[in-house]
């Protein structure tokens, strides 16, 4: 009698059945949740009480048999199986489910009967589902955001690449890869400001290749282009990274030397002259290649960038007129 | 493979588990309505900190796997973890339902029923031999990603794991599950003493 009171007092379903699913114990909790009172359930089969389908009958019977044979409990859990016994939820508490989601422990009762302990896990499963929904939503949002970020990054990389291409096209010579007249103007202006501020001199070397027009005319532009590329290579070798080396146009090159006096400028000019060997090979042609170099200084010879270029050009003319393949410092 | 048991204790443990699996095989055979042979190809022990990497190693090249966890209490206490590859889980479920499925819920329900039997028979047998008693907690089953972080942190309260590979031969299929019995040092010592006595 006391055991029956205890069984009625607990907040879980307690049902004792035999292998044919016939009920011999049905506690108060079951009565309340199924609307089937104890006196009506007693002696009835779970199949009739819950209108069990074939699959559920088979599963329950199998588990009861396992429990009896093992003499040990078996478990079914709501998170994996939903519900084995269709216990309708009250209309007022239906959120996601029409039926109670349940953990059922099937424990041995005696040699022929088992005890079903039924735990209502509906709130837990609903909460798990909400959390899963949230994390699913979140992961979809993260996935979409990642896709968008990747697309933006790809677009940005393409833009950067295009910008670089445009910048190179606008500021560098396609043939030699050296900065062009446009970029040089900017660097020269900047160097002028810096030189004025620091009172350190600037030197500008203005070069052109002796007899280049003749090479171009006689051997063609292809050989001419090779000569220009070779000349650019020699000039790179003769200058520092901090110097600005420019293809100014045609066969004309400029070298801007910051923080350099006349001696420094002459030293670089002589180095260039030495690097141009008297005889060089170009596409089966052996050529004698040399530059002429005009040098002008700031602030000694010019007050503006334009004037500096002009004075270096005059000095170049002097070098040419003196017999080519030499450097000449501007003089008034 | 290294083990905390010597060769004779290892053999005794294999024998004990094989006995318990005899009953389990008969129950699983009833479930599947087919003849089932359960084998224990290997047993070894590992320190608990190697649990996660050992499970991943046993799972081979798979992106996720199913794992059940169940504690048992009493004079012989610990926890049992079963790990099944997705393929093994789906194969067993197909045998039980008589149709192919990749429904997560169906596979979990089927594996839970299988591990109920294996755990109860194996732990029940060990408890009985230790002349003790074990009570089982409600199990849990999850599908676990191999790339995620370890979901076996709770296991660190134990010291060792006995790794038992179980092979289920049924209907020309070989379904492999990996059973990990997590034990504290004192429980392992108890078990070792019992295995020693088997030779006296």
Model confidence at A177, pLDDT cuts 50, 70, 90, reads very high
* Least confident range of A51-55, A262-266, B3-7: B3-7
Same domain, A198 and A289: yes
CA A190 to chain centre: 36
How large is the average pLDDT for residues A137-165? 85
State whether residue A128 sits within 8 Å of chain B by CB: no
CATH number for the domain that contains residue A316: 3.30.70.270
Same domain, A146 and A228: no
pLDDT of residue A151: 87
Q: What contacts 24+ positions apart, CB below 8 Å, involve B148-151?
A: B150/B52, B151/B67
- Distance of residue B115 Cα from the nearest chain A Cα, in angstroms: 10
The DSSP bridge pattern shows strands A285-287 and A280-282 to be antiparallel
B126 close to B191: Cβ distance less than 8 angstroms: yes
State the residue range of the domain holding A222: 181-329
Same domain, A313 and A190: yes
State whether residue A107 sits within 8 Å of chain B by CB: no
Cβ-based interface (< 8 Å): residues of B facing A: 23, 26-27, 30-31, 105, 108-109, 112-113, 116-117, 120-121, 124, 136, 138-141
CATH number for the domain that contains residue A52: 3.30.450.20
Whether A176 is covered by a domain: the verdict is no
* Residue from A12, A56, A65, A70 whose CB has the most chain B CBs within 10 Å, to mutate: A70
Same domain, A104 and A238: no
- Distance of residue B32 Cα from the nearest chain A Cα, in angstroms: 10
Same domain, A110 and A212: no
Mean pLDDT, all residues of chain A: 90
A18 close to A113: Cβ distance less than 8 angstroms: yes
How large is the average pLDDT for residues B103-112? 91
Q: Say whether B112 and A103 touch across the interface (CB within 8 A).
A: no
pLDDT of residue B150: 65
Q: Which domains does chain B have, with CATH numbers?
A: 7-197 (3.40.1550.10)
Same domain, A54 and A144: no
Whether A13 is covered by a domain: the verdict is yes
Same domain, A215 and A302: yes
Least Cα distance to B111 among B17, B170, B175, B20 occurs for: B175
Model confidence at B197, pLDDT cuts 50, 70, 90, reads confident
Nearest-CA residue of chain A relative to B141?
A: A80
Whether A126 is covered by a domain: the verdict is no
A14 close to A25: Cβ distance less than 8 angstroms: yes
Q: Say whether B112 and A70 touch across the interface (CB within 8 A).
A: no
Compute the count of residue pairs across chains A and B with CB atoms less than 8 Å apart. Answer: 59
Same domain, A197 and A297: yes
State whether residue A81 sits within 8 Å of chain B by CB: yes
pLDDT at A134 over 80: no
Model confidence at B148, pLDDT cuts 50, 70, 90, reads low
pLDDT of residue A41: 95
Q: B51-67: per-residue pLDDT in tens? A: 988 998 888 877 889 99
Q: Nearest CB to B109: which of A74, A80, A105?
A: A80
Whether A125 is covered by a domain: the verdict is no
Q: A247-267: per-residue pLDDT in tens? A: 999 999 999 998 889 998 998
A314 close to A330: Cβ distance less than 8 angstroms: yes
Same domain, A138 and A216: no
Distance CA B81, CA B70 (A): 7
Q: A204-246: per-residue pLDDT in tens? A: 999 999 989 988 888 888 889 999 999 999 999 888 877 899 9
* Residue from A63, A66, A119, A121 whose CB has the most chain B CBs within 10 Å, to mutate: A66
Nearest-CA residue of chain A relative to B121?
A: A70
Model confidence at B1, pLDDT cuts 50, 70, 90, reads very low
pTM: 0.61
Q: Say whether A80 and B138 touch across the interface (CB within 8 A).
A: no
pLDDT of residue B3: 61
Residue A251 designated active-site: yes
Burial class for B196, CB neighbours closer than 10 Å (0-12, 13-18, 19+)? middle
- Compare A329 and A83 and report the one with higher pLDDT: A329
Q: What total number of domains does chain A contain? A: 3
Same domain, A7 and A139: no
- Distance of residue B127 Cα from the nearest chain A Cα, in angstroms: 12
**Percent of residues in chain A assigned helix, strand, coil, to nearest 5:** 50, 20, 25
Whether A290 is covered by a domain: the verdict is yes
pLDDT of residue B199: 66
Same domain, A212 and A289: yes
* Least confident range of A136-145, A289-298, B166-175: A136-145
Contacts B117 to A, Cβ<8 Å: 66, 70, 74
A179 cis-preceded (ω within 30 degrees of 0): no
pLDDT at A322 over 60: yes
Please tell me whether the interface predicted TM-score (ipTM) of this complex is above 0.90.
no
pLDDT of residue A1: 56
How large is the average pLDDT for residues A84-105? 87
Q: Say whether A72 and B124 touch across the interface (CB within 8 A).
A: yes
How large is the average pLDDT for residues A160-185? 91
Q: B15-54: per-residue pLDDT in tens? A: 889 989 988 999 999 889 889 999 887 888 999 988 988 9
Same domain, A115 and A136: no
Nearest-CA residue of chain B relative to A104?
A: B138
Q: Which residues lie below 8 Å from residue B113, measured CB to CB, with a gap of 6+?
A: A62, A63, A74, A76, B31, B96
Whether A258 is covered by a domain: the verdict is yes
Mean pLDDT, all residues of chain B: 87
pLDDT at A100 over 80: yes
Q: A113-123: per-residue pLDDT in tens? A: 999 999 999 98
């Amino acid at each position: 009698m006391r055991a029956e009171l205890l069984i009625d007092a607990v907040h879980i379903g307690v049902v004792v059945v035999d292998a044919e699913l016939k009920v011999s114990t049905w506690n108060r909790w079951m009565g309340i949740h199924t609307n089937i009172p104890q006196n009506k359930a007693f002696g009835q089969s779970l199949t009739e009480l819950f209108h069990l389908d074939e699959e559920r009958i088979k599963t329950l019977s199998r588990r009861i048999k396992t429990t009896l044979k093992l003499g040990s409990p078996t478990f079914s859990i709501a998170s994996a199986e939903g519900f084995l016994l269709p216990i309708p939820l009250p209309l007022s508490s239906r959120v996601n489910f029409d039926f109670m989601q349940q953990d059922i422990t099937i424990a041995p009762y005696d040699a022929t009967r088992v005890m079903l302990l039924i735990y209502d896990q509906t709130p837990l499963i609903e909460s798990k589902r909400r959390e899963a929904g949230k994390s699913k939503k979140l992961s979809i949002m993260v996935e979409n955001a990642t896709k968008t970020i990747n697309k933006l990054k790809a677009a940005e990389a393409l833009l950067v690449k295009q910008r670089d291409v445009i910048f190179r096209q606008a500021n560098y010579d396609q043939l030699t890869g050296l900065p062009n007249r446009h970029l040089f103007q900017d660097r020269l202006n900047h160097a002028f400001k810096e030189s004025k501020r620091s009172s350190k001199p600037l030197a500008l070397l203005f070069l052109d290749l002796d007899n280049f027009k003749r090479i171009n005319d006689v051997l063609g532009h292809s050989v001419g282009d090779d000569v220009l590329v070779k000349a650019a290579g020699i000039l790179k070798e003769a200058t520092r990274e901090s110097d600005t080396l420019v293809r100014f146009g045609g066969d004309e090159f400029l070298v801007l030397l910051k923080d350099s006096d006349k001696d420094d400028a002459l030293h670089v000019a002589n180095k260039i002259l030495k690097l141009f060997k008297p005889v060089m090979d170009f596409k089966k042609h052996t050529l004698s290649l040399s530059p002429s170099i005009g040098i002008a200084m700031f602030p000694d010879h010019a007050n503006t960038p334009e004037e500096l270029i002009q004075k270096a050009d005059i000095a170049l003319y002097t070098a040419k007129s003196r017999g080519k393949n030499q450097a000449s410092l501007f003089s008034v | 493979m290294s083990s905390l048991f010597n060769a004779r204790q290892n053999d005794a443990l294999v024998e004990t588990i094989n006995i318990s699996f005899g009953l389990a095989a008969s129950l699983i055979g009833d479930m599947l309505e087919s003849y089932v042979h359960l084998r224990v190809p290997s047993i070894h022990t590992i320190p608990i900190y190697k649990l996660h990497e050992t499970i991943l190693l046993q799972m081979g090249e798979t992106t996720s796997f199913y794992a059940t966890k169940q504690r048992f209490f009493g004079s012989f206490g610990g926890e049992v973890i079963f790990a099944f590859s997705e393929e093994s889980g789906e194969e067993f479920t197909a045998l039980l339902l008589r149709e192919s499925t990749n429904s997560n819920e169906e596979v979990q329900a089927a594996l839970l029923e299988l591990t109920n039997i294996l755990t109860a028979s194996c732990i029940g047998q060990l408890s009985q031999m230790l002349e003790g008693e074990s009570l089982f907690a409600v199990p849990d089953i999850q599908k676990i990603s191999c790339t995620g972080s370890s979901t076996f942190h709770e296991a660190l309260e134990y010291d060792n794991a006995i790794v038992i590979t179980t092979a289920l031969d049924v209907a020309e299929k070989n379904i492999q599950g990996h059973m990990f019995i997590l034990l504290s040092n004192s429980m392992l010592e108890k078990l070792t003493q019992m295995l020693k006595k088997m030779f006296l």
